[in-house]
Amino acid sequence: MSTEQLETAVSHYARLVASLGVTMLLSPTADLIGGENEWLNGRTLGDNAASVDRLVAAYVRGAERGGIQTALKHFPGHHALMGNPATEVAIVRGSLETVLRHAGGFRAGIAAGASGVVMGSAVFEAVMPPASASLSQELIALLRQEFGFTGLVITLDLDHRSAQGDNTIEHTCINALAAGADLLLLSPSSVSNIPAITQAIAVAIDTGTLPLARLESAFASVSAAAR
């Protein structure tokens, strides 16, 4: 399928999805696998960097043309992953340089006009101290500054074991906001915790633990995406 054929097919699909009231798809997957990764096995667009870049960009352009926003996942990419981040502390090993060598799909998707980026939940050894990408101020700053992304930064499910660890879900959500995330995702099992989470965020604002300006910035990003 040519790039133009793919864009046209995705655009048609996007128009159908938009007719249901959906405004954003948490896709495409821009991860480029370069080693063991059972979590993403069979869920990526291939193992050839140039092909992944082309497919990601075409998907983004086609979806946006069809009236649906896209969110690239899972930044900064999981070239090799030990474990399943949903159920255990899964770790991406290697230097930041190694991670960035596999991040071309994100650059291509951002250049094509992706509206959102979903951070990974696995722990990255490349940052100090090692942290889940959804909670890493360093990785979110990298996305903003080096990749030049100005849209919506979304966490992966914050109750994933790799993200939450031994913390409460309330504390984890506050940490994600403080790190620079705009929209916080939770799995269905944590929906009942939303009132406690919102209350904890309000207390963090009142006590100065979380700057009000950070919450206002997150709100502005979410509002802009809810067009």
pLDDT tens for 157-173 read 999 999 999 999 999 99
Residues shown for the chain: 227
Average pLDDT over residues 32-45: 93
Give dist(CA 139, CA 134) in Å, integer: 8
Average pLDDT over residues 197-218: 97
Average pLDDT over residues 31-37: 93
Q: At 138, is the pLDDT very low, low, confident or very high (cuts 50, 70, 90)?
A: very high
Torsion of CA 179, 64, 28, 134, to 10 degrees: 10
What percent of the chain is modeled with pLDDT above 70? 100
Average pLDDT over residues 76-104: 95
Dihedral angle sign, alpha carbons of residues 103, 32, 109, 158: negative
Give dist(CA 99, CA 123) in Å, integer: 12
pTM over the 0.75 mark: yes
Which domains are assigned to the chain?
3-225 (3.20.20.300)
Question: What is the 8-class DSSP label of residue 78?
Answer: -
Q: At 184, is the pLDDT very low, low, confident or very high (cuts 50, 70, 90)?
A: very high
Average pLDDT over residues 115-123: 97
Structure tokens at 50: 């140039």
Structure tokens at 97: 């340089």
Task: Provide the pLDDT for residue 227.
Answer: 72
